[in-house]
Amino acid sequence: MLLKLLFGSKNERYIKRLRPMVARINALEPDMLKLSDADFPARIAAWKEEVRNGRKVDDLLPEVFALVREAGKRVLNMRHFDVQLVGGIALHEGNIAEMKTGEGKTLVATLPVVLNALSGKGVHVVTVNDYLAKRDAAWMGRLYGFLGLTTGVIVHGLSDQERQESYGADITYGTNNEFGFDYLRDNMKFYKESLVQRDLHFAIVDEVDSILIDEARTPLIISGPAEMSTQLYRRVDTVIPPLKRSSPRPANLPQGEDFIPDGDFEVDEKARTVTLTDQGVERVEKLLGIDNLFDPTNMTLQHHVLQGLKAHHLFKRDVDYIVKDGQVVIVDEFTGRLMPGRRYSDGLHQALEAKENVTVEAENQTLASITFQNYFRMYDKLAGMTGTADTESVEFKQIYELDVIVIPTNRPMVRKDHPDMIFRTQPEKFRAIVEEIADCHKRGQPVLVGTVSIEKSELVSGLLKKLGVPHNVLNAKQHEKEAEIVAEAGQKGKVTIATNMAGRGTDIVLGEGVKELGGLHIIGTERHESRRIDNQLRGRSGRQGDPGSSRFYLALDDDLMRLFGSDRISGLMEKLGMEENVPIENKLVSRAIEGSQKRVEGHNFEIRKQLLDFDNVMNQQREVIYSQRRELMYAENLDSIVEEYAQDVLADILGPASEGKDMDPEMAEMVRSRLDEVFDFDRFPGFRRNLPNKTQALAWINETTGALKDAAPDHYQEIARYFTLESLDRNWKDHLLNMDHLRDGIGLRGYGQKDPKQEYKREGFELFRDMLDNIKENTLRALCHLRIKTEVREEEYQHKETAGNLQYAGSADGSDKTKEPKRRVEPKVGRNDPCPCGSGKKYKKCCGAK
């Protein structure tokens, strides 16, 4: 506290430290004016060479920033302000720069982007949607091209070749989802030539709070279809409507007094959970025609009933999702945007599809997953920028080791933020809102109305239509016109209704005569559970010193007030007295509401932290597996890896025999049988008579793989790589499913006085160790059972992948392939063995049946 009084806050001290650097950049401006256009790319090329020879990019900061500023003037007619130079330095040093809306974050990013691009390792600029990625890449790409740097963009729908080209550029723009999914997809590929991403060097995350906080509550998942019938969802959905919801539990239930629910199920909206009552269990059993819902054979049914209840009573159409073109599409809770392609996991999405009577897609099984926290922490250096981050500074520091630096505005902020207006009920509140909108419209003052859902935006729209007030609606249903609608929101007399304004990416410029009317007026129809989202809405007004105003309207039956409002708020209301259609405007109440928001933010932080704690266990395992995959993909020769696998598997199977100890006949026969099953030792004379020792068994394995090399000398390494990677991927997929099941039930360990996180870590390690053993054993089983059936000339083969087989067929000149002999590499497997194609079925019921 004394340090703060003497020298100012930490933020002020940081800004003060940068002033000499800003002065050095300004001093270089006259020299940059003298440069010809051709000098700019020449300077960049020279600095690239210096960095390649060992010079640190930090040493070049003043010169590079001064060069980029001059390039901005010449190419974009935009000169970086001094505060933007401060923001650029903060980003380069690996911080989050909080800059108000309209302060030019897109331009600020060009400074550290160019500086760090000198390393030649690539710089990623991460945005929240494809539109902004393409817009910013094209807009700022003009500046980068002027400097001799290349720009790429990663958006949905690109081919691998297009992605490789974009990632190979000096600067790459793209969305957080695309970057994350490309990382996962790269770690599912078989050939190094098909990888698209380079090493993760430096990333600047735009709207960093939206990406690293809001979206971090759910992991990125690549999934494949699981073997489960979709009819079960339809069947379960028929039993949900007849069930009766219990009345809410009394808030002040006397201690020791039991509460007996009066319905079939209870809903906890705060925790987003649904539980069946005893009465409900009996009703469900009767409706489904089963004896015991909790019988182990009915666990899947029980799970689907709970997911069905969630779908009907916790997830609302036009709030959490919409139905579009016969599909259930998730609506992003924080930005109001649609999230096509994203699906709720664990059968919830299927339950929603059954509820809405659309096609129920097959449930998926996780093939690869990662949280945004763990993905972005892999970058050598990470930075971010947004208009609202300071309220989450503790989380940014704890999770990402990022400091939040609040950058001063270029011009003083003059927006007037009025106290909240609080009403008894929502109808009273919305009547007051539309009256104020109509008044502003009559005077010509533009209004931006922020709502928390599509449902509320359409409610306000309907009320305005009755009053004859023209307006635009911007929500997930009209997202195609987003930029156009936002750009016009500051024109005289305009009324714009929008769901959350996070990351819209388009400045609202005031029209002629609007400043004299008070600038853009912001109306919030209710408080969001995060103060940041409210601040983002407010921040659309008052850019670059423009006038503006804001006010939030609340009702006691708003979700935030109803679920998280403290007893203190209710007490204050009673003391102040509330009459119908008479609002209360009181700073004490506003502060109490802000306290409720802080509690919700803390609760959500714990959810994200718990997700990260569990994913950290998976992340350690993921790093091991992905590291092994890269080693296998890049290894020129896999002989040593195969031999290491054989050593480990033999040591496990032979056990005491590998240490020179004798076995009893029964144990010896079991060992002999397992050796034959894995390594196909039945081909070797004398195996049935004498149990081989480890050295002899290893020699036999080498003889087997040696025969393969002789039969396919130029393809053996490719064959070994294929089966090793196939075994790794199949077992990793099964392991992810096992870890999901473990996590689902691990919370119950708390009742046994055990720490669920420690139990998850311990048992997860045991499962992981078993998986590694299975990878080695399955690889060797495939290699030792392979047979080369036909020999033809090397130049007549082209590589073709089939399910479980490698096939080399066809002639190089394109002649009739049916006349050419084929060389097939086929696994020799028993009919009851797992099928080599990786389906998880037995061979006789899969490829063996074809």
Bridge partner residues of 448 (DSSP): 496, 522
Stretch 459-470: mean pLDDT? 94
Q: Residue 317: left if φ>0, alpha if ψ -120 to 50, beta else—which one?
A: beta
Stretch 352-370: mean pLDDT? 87
Q: Is-contact 614 697, C-beta < 8 A?
A: no
Whether the pLDDT of residue 825 is over 50: the answer is no
Whether the pLDDT of residue 681 is over 90: the answer is no
The pair of three-digit structure tokens given for residue 309, joined into one six-digit string: 């209840």
∠ CA 377-382-383 to the nearest 5 degrees?
Answer: 135
**Residue 845 has what pLDDT?**
62
| pLDDT tens digit sequence for 747-775 | 666 666 788 888 889 999 999 999 999 99
Whether the pLDDT of residue 803 is over 50: the answer is no
Stretch 474-490: mean pLDDT? 71
The pair of three-digit structure tokens given for residue 700, joined into one six-digit string: 């036999």
In 424-532, beta strands by DSSP E = 447-451, 472-474, 495-499, 520-524
| pLDDT tens digit sequence for 548-597 | 999 999 888 787 777 665 555 655 565 655 666 667 666 777 777 777 78
Question: In 3D, which of 422, 371, 380, 425 has the Cα closest to residue 399?
Answer: 371
Q: How far apart are CA 206 and CA 175, in angstroms?
A: 10
In the numeric block, the tokens 């969001």 are attached to 528
**Residue 579 has what pLDDT?**
63
At residue 293 the predicted structure's pLDDT band, cuts being 50, 70 and 90, is confident
**Residue 695 has what pLDDT?**
79
Whether the pLDDT of residue 799 is over 60: the answer is no
**Residue 626 has what pLDDT?**
95
Helices (H), 299-425: 299-313, 348-355, 372-376, 393-400
At residue 677 the predicted structure's pLDDT band, cuts being 50, 70 and 90, is confident
Stretch 237-253: mean pLDDT? 83
Bridge partner residues of 46 (DSSP): none
Stretch 350-361: mean pLDDT? 92
Q: Residue 207: left if φ>0, alpha if ψ -120 to 50, beta else—which one?
A: left
Helices (H), 171-328: 176-186, 208-209, 231-237, 278-288, 299-313
Question: In 3D, which of 384, 379, 375 has the Cα closest to residue 402?
Answer: 384
- Residues composing the chain: 850
Task: Name the average pLDDT for the chain.
Answer: 82
CA distances from 762 to 10, 153, 746, 759 (A): 41, 42, 11, 5
Q: How far apart are CA 71 and CA 68, in angstroms?
A: 5
**Residue 814 has what pLDDT?**
30
**Residue 577 has what pLDDT?**
59
Please give the residue that has the higher pLDDT: either 458 or 146.
Answer: 146
**Residue 817 has what pLDDT?**
30
**Residue 659 has what pLDDT?**
52
**Which residues lie below 8 Å from residue 475, measured CB to CB, with a gap of 6+?**
336, 451, 454, 457, 458, 497, 498, 499
Q: What percent of the chain has pLDDT over 90?
A: 42
Most confident of 1-15, 511-525, 698-712: 511-525
Could you give the domains of the chain? 2-221+373-406 (3.40.50.300), 227-249+260-362 (3.90.1440.10), 416-604 (3.40.50.300)
| pLDDT tens digit sequence for 27-75 | 999 999 999 999 999 999 999 999 999 999 999 999 999 999 999 999 9
Q: Is-contact 757 609, C-beta < 8 A?
A: no
Whether the pLDDT of residue 300 is over 80: the answer is no
Lowest-pLDDT range of 189-198, 637-646, 695-704, 824-833: 824-833
| pLDDT tens digit sequence for 266-280 | 888 777 788 888 899
Q: What percent of the chain has pLDDT over 70?
A: 81
| pLDDT tens digit sequence for 691-742 | 667 777 788 778 777 777 777 778 888 889 999 999 999 999 889 888 877 8
**Residue 711 has what pLDDT?**
73
320-324 long-range CB contacts below 8 Å, 24 or more apart?
A: 321/352, 322/454, 322/476, 322/477, 323/356, 323/358
Whether the pLDDT of residue 1 is over 60: the answer is no
Q: How far apart are CA 850 and CA 841, in angstroms?
A: 13
The pair of three-digit structure tokens given for residue 784, joined into one six-digit string: 């030792």
Whether the pLDDT of residue 282 is over 50: the answer is yes
Whether the pLDDT of residue 296 is over 80: the answer is no
345-351 long-range CB contacts below 8 Å, 24 or more apart?
A: 345/221, 345/223, 346/303, 346/307, 347/233, 347/303, 347/304, 347/307, 348/307, 348/310, 348/311, 348/315, 350/230, 350/233, 350/307, 351/233, 351/236, 351/237, 351/304, 351/307, 351/308, 351/310, 351/311
Stretch 413-428: mean pLDDT? 88
The pair of three-digit structure tokens given for residue 738, joined into one six-digit string: 């096992």
**Residue 808 has what pLDDT?**
26
Q: Is-contact 518 547, C-beta < 8 A?
A: yes
Whether the pLDDT of residue 661 is over 70: the answer is no
Most confident of 316-325, 375-384, 841-850: 375-384
Please give the residue that has the higher pLDDT: either 327 or 260.
Answer: 327
| pLDDT tens digit sequence for 390-416 | 888 888 998 899 999 999 999 898 999
| pLDDT tens digit sequence for 75-120 | 999 999 999 999 999 999 999 999 988 889 999 999 999 999 999 9
Burial of 504 (0-12, 13-18, 19+ CB in 10 A): buried
Lowest-pLDDT range of 140-144, 352-356, 369-373: 369-373
Q: How far apart are CA 429 and CA 421, in angstroms?
A: 8
Q: How far apart are CA 69 and CA 71, in angstroms?
A: 5
The pair of three-digit structure tokens given for residue 667, joined into one six-digit string: 């144990």
Please give the residue that has the higher pLDDT: either 626 or 567.
Answer: 626
